[in-house]
Amino acid sequence: EQPAAEQSAPEQSAPEQSAPSSRASYDPELLAWVREVAALTTPDRIVFADGSDEEWTRITDKLVDAGTFTRLEKKPNSFHCASDPTDVARVEDRTFICSLDEKDAGPTNNWMDPAEMKATMTELYRGSMRGRTMYVVPFCMGPYDAANPMLGVEITDSEYVVASMRVMTRMGARALELINGGARWVKALHSIGAPLEPTERDVAWPCNDTKYISHFPEERMIWSFGSGYGGNALLGKKCYSLRIASAIAHDEGWLAEHMLILKLTSPQHTTHYIAAAFPSACGKTNLAMLEPTIPGWKVETLGDDIAWMKFGDDGRLYAVNPEYGLFGVAPGTGWGTNPNAMRTIEQGNSVFTNVALTDDGDVWWEGMTDQPPAHLTDWHGKDWTPESETPSSHPNSRFCTPIAQCPIIADEYFGPTGVPISAIIFGGRRRDTIPLVTESRDWQHGVFMGATLSSETTAAATGKVGVVRRDPMAMLPFIGYNAGDYFAHWINVGKGADASKLPKIFYVNWFRRDSADGSFLWPGFGENSRVLKWIIDRLDGQAAAEQTPIGHIPAAGALDVDGLELTGDALAKALAVDADEWRAELPLIEQWFDTIGDALPSSLRDELELLRQRLG
């Protein structure tokens, strides 16, 4: 029988043919799957991606020729890209967890029976790659030399996806070798759903109005159709490293979380590693790369979006960033707010999607510089001037850039074991109620904080912006199974551990506003180092705290605000625990717990009752 890689159409161009060199050693399951998908989707040709520089050049040249990419004059090896205006964000209402039993998807996920979903999507995939190249993209999430490397193969008909996967994951020959060597791997099938007839001219961003982002957690498999955008299409990221990995983690006793990882060093050279969960577009990348405003403190970056946390032999929880790149929200990222992100992208090797183009061949977006350029081409391809009524860049426009280029990347990022986490921070975007920082009383109370996390929605997903919703552990769109079982898993992780070695859990809110004039009470960005310092000092028993009904907050004078100009009673308002606001929160939490239903661990109901009693 012929391997699928040889079933290419005769008109294929020679340089694109990259048939496996030693077919005999191919993982039989991989070859069978490639054949099966090719028979269904009928691409013109099949290419195994090897992750080489030559391949990158070929793919990006092809994207430039197709009008999808514009090469940037001002940044080396970098490209501007504008998507179809209807394909700009994750589509949560089209995202499905197809567990065998509906109750395993839980009340927070869309569910469809796996057989029904496969039947529906099989018809969508039939012939969907006609006229296109089918790429077989082997990748590894996390280090190749991990004890159990986490592999995957994405089959895709999108060159944009191949290029982006090379930035965002360890992609290519080495991953394929590990798969062929017998390592376990996840099947991730992706089609933009835009077959091309022989005489048809392609568009710059082909996609389909019908979209499905489907997960089969029991089979550890992903099927995505219709979108070329970010989290819908780069399947190693949200689909694998959060939804599928959270299901794996539940079965194996670890945590796959929507968290940044940073290293914090004090002036006394003590080092702590912190993981922090915030919903999309709430500043994870900024916090991960923060430049402390307090003298002598240093932040180094390990990750800005995803943390996999497993117990080490020493009983501590170790975090690894499975990703290889940053897929950051562009607007609001600038020399003032996140200079390290700017220095990262300056080095090139990046893809910018749905931002504006400058006349001299660079990119720009709102918040990059104080003064906008006098003229731009906006993300719709239209002329833009500072007088224009719409922003030049889509609010969810992104930079996609290698994390190794970050000037403050921690050495530990490159190691196989990850870093021992001292503190876990949960945070949301709330204009009221939630104080600047609160320390949990213990692990279970910390899980309660995470499970009841709330945040105003952002442009990172389609739908209304600014609506408060519960976003437990900032994982609402990413939990690959029943949210109640997920909370129980978090509780169990704590029960099974030596409490003295568990990370301490904190809750922060950089976004509280003055009810009088709507202004932010806390300056955020680099000043957030002051909150990190209090957190670390709490771990080391060096900072004072005040007990309140909701947890411990900084005692008067305990938060270092040296040299910080705060107006009036802004700090007091930022830290305040307002019993009335919290009493108003109780029925909302109760409602949320009712939504979770039977699977909600009773200990979280207990925590709610305790909170109610303490509030009096």
Residues that bind Mn ion (CB under 5 A): 280, 305
Minimum separation from the CB atom of position 450 to ligand PEP (A): 17
Minimum CB separation of residue 240 from Mn ion in Å reads 13
Query: Would the CA dihedral through 561, 563, 569, 573 be positive or negative?
Result: negative
Query: Candidates 58-66, 94-102, 108-116, 229-237 — which segment interacts with ligand PEP by CB under 6 A?
Result: 229-237
Residues 40/126, Cβ–Cβ less than 8 Å: yes
Query: Any binding-site annotation on 239?
Result: no
Amino acid at 261: I
Q: Which of 139, 82, 16, 60 is nearest to 349 (CA)?
A: 60
Nearest to 354 by CA among 235, 194, 210, 205: 205
The one-letter code for the residue type at 465 is V
Question: In whole angstroms, how close is the CB of 364 to Na ion at the nearest point?
Answer: 21
- Closer to Na ion at the Cβ: 90 or 429? 90
- Coil, helix or strand for 302? strand
**Does the annotation list 463 as a binding residue?**
no
Q: Which among ligand PEP, Mn ion, Na ion, none contacts residue 261 (Cβ within 5 to 8 A by kind)?
A: none
From CA 459, how far away is CA 211, in angstroms rounded? 18
Rule CB under 6 A: is residue 460 a binding residue for ligand PEP?
Answer: yes
For residue 153, what are the contacts with CB-CB under 8 A and spacing of at least 6?
A: 30, 33, 136, 137, 138, 139, 179, 185, 186, 187, 188
Q: Which of 179, 428, 466, 229 is nearest to 239 (CA)?
A: 229
User: Please, how many CA atoms are within 13 Å of residue 340, restricted to the half-sphere of its CB?
Assistant: 25
Q: Is 281 left (phi over 0), alpha (psi -120 to 50) or beta?
A: left
The answer to whether 280 is a known ligand-binding residue is yes
Helix or strand holding residue 71 (H, E): strand 69-71
Contact between residue 426 and residue 550 where contact means Cβ atoms under 8 Å apart? no
The one catalytic residue among 81, 140, 207, 282: 282
258 marked as part of a ligand binding site = yes
327 binds, among Na ion, Mn ion, ligand PEP, none (CB under 5 to 8 A by kind): ligand PEP
The answer to whether 511 is a known ligand-binding residue is no
CB of 325 to Na ion, least distance (A): 15
Q: Do 214 and 222 contact (CB within 8 A), yes or no?
A: yes
Residue 231 labeled ligand binder: yes
| b/e per residue 341-362 (b: at least 16 CB within 10 A) | bbebbebebbbbbbbbbbeeeb
Task: State which of positions 259-288 bind ligand PEP (CB under 6 A).
Answer: 280-281
Does 398 count as an annotated binding residue?
Answer: yes
- Which range binds Na ion by CB under 5 A, 111-119, 317-325, 411-419, 459-467? 459-467
Shortest Å distance, C-beta 386 to ligand PEP: 27
Residue 229 makes CB contacts below 8 A (sequence gap 6+) with 83, 87, 88, 89, 90, 207, 353
Residue listed under structure tokens 């876990």:
424
Report how far residue 27's alpha carbon sits from residue 576's, in angstroms, rounded to the nearest whole number: 59
Residue 257: half-sphere exposure toward Cβ, Cα within 13 Å: 33
Closest by CA to 287, choosing from 246, 348, 328, 318, is 328
Shortest gap between Cβ of 222 and ligand PEP (angstroms)?
14
Name residues contacting ligand PEP, limited to 316-335 (CB under 6 A).
327
Instruction: Give the shortest CB-305-to-Mn ion separation in angstroms.
Output: 4
Which positions from 81 through 120 interact with Na ion, judged by CB under 5 A?
89-90
Of residues 396 through 435, those in contact with ligand PEP by CB under 6 A are none
* Annotated binding residue 90: yes
Kindly provide the b/e burial profile for residues 168-194, where b requires at least 16 CB atoms within 10 angstroms of the residue's own CB.
Answer: bbbbbebbbebbbeebebbbbbbbbbb
Chain positions 499 to 558 lying near ligand PEP, rule: CB under 6 A, are none
Cβ atoms 211, 94 nearer than 8 A: yes
- From the list 231-239, 338-346, 372-380, 507-515, the region that binds ligand PEP by CB under 6 A is 231-239
What is the C-alpha separation between 455 and 588, in angstroms, rounded? 13
Give the shortest CB-168-to-ligand PEP separation in angstroms.
9
506 in a known ligand binding site: no
**Of 230, 236, 303, 373, the one binding ligand PEP by CB under 6 A:** 230
Min separation Cβ 309 and ligand PEP, Å = 18
Identify residues 334-373 at the interface with ligand PEP (CB under 6 A).
none
Task: Output 58 or 237, the one with its CB closest to ligand PEP.
Answer: 237
How many chain residues interact with ligand PEP (CB under 6 A)? Answer: 10
What pairing do the DSSP bridges indicate for beta strands 133-141 and 271-277?
A: unpaired
Does position 90 interact with ligand PEP (CB under 6 A)? The reply is yes
- 284 annotated ligand binder: yes
Q: Provide the 10 A C-beta neighbour count for residue 565.
A: 7
* Closer residue to Mn ion in complex, CB, 317/475: 475
Among 132, 238, 445, 470, binds ligand PEP (CB under 6 A): 238
Q: Is 282 a catalytic residue?
A: yes
573 binds, among ligand PEP, Na ion, Mn ion, none (CB under 5 to 8 A by kind): none
- DSSP symbols for 451-500: HT-EEE--TTBSS-SS-EEE-GGG-TTT--S-HHHHHHHHHHHHHTS-GG
Q: Choose among Na ion, ligand PEP, Mn ion, none what residue 154 binds, the Cβ cut-off being 5 to 8 Å by kind.
A: none
What's CA 101's distance to the chain center, in Å?
Answer: 27
With CB under 6 A as the contact rule, the residue among 45, 237, 430, 573 that binds ligand PEP is 237
In the complex, least distance from residue 327 CB atom to ligand PEP, rounded to whole angstroms = 5
- The whole-angstrom separation of Cα 111 and Cα 458 is 24
Options 52-60, 230-238, 376-384, 482-490: segment touching ligand PEP (CB under 6 A): 230-238
Listed residue (37, 185, 183, 177) closest to 121, CA to CA: 37
CB nearer to Mn ion: give 280 or 401: 280
Q: Which is nearer to Mn ion, 83 or 280 (CB)?
A: 280
If contact means CB under 5 to 8 A according to the sort of partner, which of ligand PEP, Mn ion, Na ion, none does residue 377 touch? Answer: none
Is 232 labelled a binding residue? Answer: no
Separation CA 58–CA 72 (nearest Å): 17
Per DSSP bridges, beta strands 468-470 and 454-456 are antiparallel
For residue 167, state whether it binds ligand PEP (rule: CB under 6 A): no
Name which of Mn ion, ligand PEP, Na ion, none residue 237 binds, using a CB cut-off of 5 to 8 Å depending on partner kind: ligand PEP
Sequence ranges of the binding site for Mn(2+) = 238, 258, 305
Binding site feature residues for substrate: 90, 229-231, 280, 396-398
Q: Which residues are catalytic?
A: 282
Q: Binding site: which residues?
A: 90, 229-231, 238, 258, 280-286, 305, 396-398, 429, 525-528
Residues that bind ligand PEP (CB under 6 A): 89-90, 230-231, 237-238, 280-281, 327, 460
Binding region for GTP: 281-286, 398, 429, 525-528
Provide the binding-site residues for Na ion, judged by CB under 5 A. 89-90, 460
